[in-house]
């Protein structure tokens, strides 16, 4: 891990990786092979736009104020329910797979960072806070995914810059955004405010 700012650490492999969601030859493994932990707040947000989500995932059956079909509790955590096809919110349109939550947010101009669970929004990155330190890592098995490659053509940190900006009300994300912008502008690790990888 490299320190990029006070209380912000990034896995150094991220400076060597590219990411591009490639729907044309992707099986949406990100939505099929992983367990997505969601918070109570995220559940409430998702349920509040369920009518919008159902326009994309028409097979969803919504009961009266219940979320049992969509979330389940395992070891004191809530997770998105999966079936043999993956996440309950995953749908196929012609040849490509899409997230119904993401599609609803885009179509109805809703704040993606308010409704889509963070774990899904950041995938394949793993974003965590440990003792007030923001840590940006990558999923352990990233090498098996076609959307991630060892190349600097489409830098993964730049690809996620827009997502990180959505969290600009968080001081640590502001520091991360500043570092990424400066790093890729100057091509240098050291930047104007002396944020240096150590």
Domain final residue pick, 74, 89, 112 = 112
Domain tally, the chain:
2
Domain final residue pick, 81, 112, 143 = 112
pLDDT at 60: 74
- Residue 56 CA neighbour count, 13 Å, CB half: 22
The stretch 175-198 carries a mean pLDDT of 67
Query: Phi then psi for 94, rounded to 5 degrees?
Result: 60, -115
Q: How far apart are CA 13 and CA 28, in angstroms?
A: 23
Q: Tell me the per-residue pLDDT of 26-43, one tens digit each, with 9 for 90 and over.
A: 667 788 888 888 888 998
Average pLDDT, the chain: 83
79 and 42 assigned to the same domain: yes
Residue 184 has pLDDT above 80, yes or no: yes
Residue 63's pLDDT band (cuts 50, 70, 90) = low
Q: Measure the N-to-C terminal CA separation of the chain; round to a whole number of Å.
A: 9
Q: Tell me the per-residue pLDDT of 132-169, one tens digit each, with 9 for 90 and over.
A: 999 999 999 888 888 888 877 778 998 899 999 999 88
Rg (C-alpha) for the chain, rounded Å, is 18
pLDDT at 192: 36
- Domain residue limits at 147: 1-26+123-198
22 and 56 assigned to the same domain: no
Domain assignment of residue 118, yes or no: no
Domain assignment of residue 21, yes or no: yes
- Of 44-58, 69-83, 116-130, 170-184, give the lowest mean pLDDT range: 69-83
- Cβ contacts of 50 within 8 Å, gap of 6 or more: 60, 62
Residue 179's pLDDT band (cuts 50, 70, 90) = very high
Q: Residue 113 to residues 2, 122, 135: CA-CA distances in angstroms?
A: 26, 10, 18
92 and 68 assigned to the same domain: yes
Q: Residue 73 to residues 19, 39, 115, 117, 170: CA-CA distances in angstroms?
A: 32, 11, 19, 16, 28
138 DSSP β-pair partners: 125
Domain assignment of residue 99, yes or no: yes
Total count of residues recorded for the chain: 198
97 and 41 assigned to the same domain: yes
Q: How far is CA 69 from the centre of its chain?
A: 23
Residue scoring higher pLDDT (83 or 137): 137
């Amino acid at each position: 891990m490299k320190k990029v700012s006070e209380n912000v650490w990034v896995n150094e492999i991220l400076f060597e990786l590219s990411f591009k969601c490639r729907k044309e030859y992707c099986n949406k493994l990100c939505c099929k092979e992983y367990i997505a932990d969601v918070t109570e707040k995220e559940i409430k947000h998702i349920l509040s736009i369920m009518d919008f989500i159902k326009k994309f995932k028409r097979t969803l059956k919504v009961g009266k104020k219940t979320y049992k079909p969509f979330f389940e509790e395992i070891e004191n955590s809530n997770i998105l329910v999966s079936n043999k096809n993956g996440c309950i919110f995953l749908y196929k349109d012609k040849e490509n797979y899409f997230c119904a939550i993401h599609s609803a947010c885009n179509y109805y101009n809703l704040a993606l960072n308010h409704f889509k669970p963070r774990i899904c929004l950041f995938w394949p990155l793993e974003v965590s806070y440990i003792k007030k330190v923001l840590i940006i890592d990558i999923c352990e098995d990233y090498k098996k995914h076609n959307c991630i490659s060892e190349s600097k053509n489409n830098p993964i940190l730049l690809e996620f810059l827009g997502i990180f900006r959505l969290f600009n009300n968080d001081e640590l994300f502001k520091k991360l955004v500043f570092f990424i912008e400066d790093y890729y502008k100057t091509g240098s690790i050291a930047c104007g405010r002396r944020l240096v990888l150590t």
